[in-house]
Structure 1
């Protein structure tokens, strides 16, 4: 897919559903991921 090494991402709604899945995928591609959620 993409190499996101050295990139940052802030994911809102990361406590479940689509947000959690996107956070996992971005991290797997090398991004540094910041998470925000309610649970």
Structure 2
């Protein structure tokens, strides 16, 4: 996944969070999107950086 940019929605919990963590671990640059829970999205961003 090196040199790939991905957009993941629903990163605050569940599948969206798991996918963003997996893709980041594989070397992708992950852009995150959330709808309701900014704090949860911020936690995901902190976990993948």
TM range (shorter): 0.7 to 0.9
Cα RMSD over matched residues? 0.6
Aligned residue pairs, count: 36
Q: 4+ runs of 1 displaced by more than 6 Å?
A: none
Structure with greater contact order relative to length (CA < 8 Å, sep ≥ 6): 1
Structure 1 gap ranges (5+): none
Q: Indicate the residue corresponding to 1:19 in structure 2.
A: 16
State TM-score, norm by structure 1: 0.86
Structure 2 gap ranges (5+): 38-49
